[in-house]
Amino acid sequence: MTVWKLLRGPVVIALVASLAGAALLLESRSPLAGDGHPREHAMLRTELYFGAIEPALWERFLAEEVTPRFPDGLSWYDVNGQWRGPSGKPEKLPSRILLLIHADNAANREALAEIGAVFLARHGMAVLKVSSPVTASDPDWTDDRVKNRQLAP
């Protein structure tokens, strides 16, 4: 019996195991699930409701307070709001809603609380926060990309 015949079985097993391991490594680095669709992540969708302030003040607030805490992305839009004022009657209030998709972790909860506290201190208006669990996917969310406070659990 030749050496090749003796080693053929273990060599084939080692080769198959190596290829399977490489395939798993590549799959874990890919933003796509096995079916070719972006992988889904358990996240929170948080809406922060702000009283509208002048556009220049809003841009400054976003740049100084929000973006550094949530650099991976956000959306915001102007809305018209209504609430029961001190008189007990409905009052109209121009507002802005900031929409964030983020991981549910202590750092993000603290960042959201800080944003609300800073806005209240600067502009005298409280911020309403509404959070809901969601499943989110993005083809750009590679394993390396989601290793940050905003997206990592």
Domain locations in the chain? 1-30, 42-135
> Residue 143: which pLDDT band, with cuts at 50, 70 and 90?
confident
Q: Is the pLDDT reported for residue 4 higher than 80?
A: no
Over residues 41-70, the pLDDT tens digits come to: 899 999 999 999 999 999 999 999 999 999
**Residue whose C-alpha is closest to residue 72's, from 125, 131, 133, 140:** 140
pLDDT confidence of residue 8: 60
For residues 81 and 94, the answer to whether their CB atoms sit within 8 Å is yes
Whole-angstrom distance, CA of residue 30 vs CA of residue 38: 9
**Architecture label for domain 42-135:** 2-Layer Sandwich (3.30)
Tokens of 34: 């096995």
Q: Is the pLDDT reported for residue 149 higher than 60?
A: yes
pLDDT confidence of residue 17: 44
Whole-angstrom distance, CA of residue 98 vs CA of residue 125: 15
Report percent pLDDT > 70 for the chain. Answer: 75
**Of residues 84 and 27, more confidently modeled:** 84
pTM equals 0.73
Q: Is the pLDDT reported for residue 19 higher than 50?
A: no
Cβ neighbour number for residue 52 with a 10 Å cutoff = 17
Average pLDDT, the chain: 82
Whole-angstrom distance, CA of residue 115 vs CA of residue 68: 11
